[in-house]
Amino acid sequence: MDDKKVGRQTPTDSVVLSYTESKGGEAVALYNSSGRTAQQWQELMVYDIMAVNDEGLWTHMKFGWSIPRRNGKSEILIIRANYGITHGERILYTAHRTTTSHNAWEKVIERLTKAGYIEGEDFKTTKQYGLEHIEWLNGDGVINFRTRSSKGGLGEGYDLLIIDEAQEYTDDQESALKYVVTDSANPQTLMCGTPPTAVSSGTVFTNYRKNVLSGEAQDCGWAEWSVKTISNAHDPELWYETNPSLGTILSERTIRSELGRDPESLDDNIQRLGLWLRYNQKSAISKTEWQGLTVTSKPKLKSELFFGVKYAKVTNNVSLAVAAKTDDGRIFVEAIDCRSTREGNGWLIAFLRNPRMREAVVDGANGQTILEADMKDAGIRKKPILPKVSEVIEANALFERNVFSGTVCHSDQPSLEQVVSNCEHRAIGSGGGFGYNSILEGADISLLDAVSLAHWACSNAKEKKKQKISY
């Protein structure tokens, strides 16, 4: 009996529609006849992907899966493609890089040849790099291998659309490709990749996962091997939980050699433990987006004032910002100042004494409790809000959402524009939330943090009911 330890063979999270019949057995048998043997997890995945309903149509019109690197996730695409071409399907195999699509072409050819099919008798192929093509000679089966672009695939009809390296699949590419299977009597789209990293440009894969797991997508399936929060990437038990091929084609030694020194490295959590973040690391607020929210005349404010104070972590500065609701339903934000903490809190108290002050949110362990005491000593009755990490994460997400939806406005302050348009996301907390880093030397990100906190307080504030007096 083989007691060798192997990775978890079933997904940590999945959505699979119920079925009683699958073509997966035929596909796996064809693959195994090439001298290779599908791993258990691959076989189970193929059965789910190739499930059919009572009418013989694919149960899942779309299916996506995410698995950490070097586990053989793309081999499932080869299994599916080999079945398709031998059963009369027209297939478009796409990848982010030409080398990936070319390697897929080589694998399909190799597996077919080793399964006993002969080039020139059973199929013919075009070897032109970047335009690889396989055509079945005794049927209608075809596979075209292409690198994705915003124009690729237009005007061509297919039964199966494959999206390899799906973390790089962009909205523009989807707009060009999603209709290529529309005319098929039994279409299917497969997306396979890893969770997006800081250099990933795609958003389609992330949105698809979110929609399937939330139950919003119909006729769709999903499977992933992942941790839920930032974890110890040096823990072998987590390697076995999130890497199904560990112990077969992947070894502990290999994983150990690739890890960085930081056990909670964000990159190692994504690449090796399959962590999905709740935000796009590449996303940031552009100068054009921020300038589009500028108001040229003084806005009419209808609410009290909400202040945000941020004691910077990297510098010895503290920033102050204010927010208020406008008559047209937006939130006006303004940076007041950023000063050295050596100047004390007197200047902050002068602003926070404002009789129209409704709330003050103060963040930064190196100063918030001192300011709270100073506010009390100054006779400011309203206690400041000292936000938890989860609330800071909520504040940043809400701020960006409202920036992109156009419900934030500002007076085009150069100092604030400089910080906002030169920021990037950084991970905070353990649940995939984000904060901000400045990518511009000399710019203090605490100015943006203060604005985000003020906006959060203003957005969450409930309208005060006017007291009615009757006699």
pLDDT per residue as tens digits for the range 211-226: 999 999 999 999 999 9
| Residues 267 and 324 grouped into a single domain | no
Q: How far apart are CA 134 and CA 184, in angstroms?
A: 19
Exposed, middle or buried: residue 405 (CB in 10 Å: 0-12, 13-18, 19+)?
A: exposed
Whether the predicted pLDDT of 150 surpasses 70 = no
Number of domains in the chain: 2
What's the start-to-end Cα distance of the chain, in Å?
90
| Residues 330 and 369 grouped into a single domain | yes
Confidence of residue 155 (pLDDT cuts 50, 70, 90): low
Confidence of residue 1 (pLDDT cuts 50, 70, 90): very low
Q: How far apart are CA 347 and CA 318, in angstroms?
A: 11
In a domain, 167, yes or no: yes
Choose one of 246, 273, 300: the last residue of a domain.
273
In a domain, 469, yes or no: no
State pTM to two decimals. Answer: 0.71
In a domain, 1, yes or no: no
Whether the predicted pLDDT of 176 surpasses 80 = yes
Q: How far apart are CA 318 and CA 362, in angstroms?
A: 10
Q: Cα dist. 362→47, 200, 385 in Å? A: 54, 34, 6
Choose one of 228, 244, 273: the last residue of a domain.
273
Q: Residue 90 is part of a domain; what is its CATH number?
A: 3.40.50.300
Confidence of residue 471 (pLDDT cuts 50, 70, 90): very low
Q: How far apart are CA 354 and CA 381, in angstroms?
A: 12
Q: Residue 387 is part of a domain; what is its CATH number?
A: 3.30.420.240
353: domain range?
287-460
Q: Which residue, among 312, 314, 307, 315, has the nearest Cα to 446 in the 3D structure? A: 312
Whether the predicted pLDDT of 2 surpasses 60 = no
pLDDT mean over 88-105: 96
Q: Cα dist. 348→105, 310, 408 in Å? A: 65, 11, 24
In a domain, 467, yes or no: no
DSSP state of 275: P
Choose one of 249, 273, 297: the last residue of a domain.
273
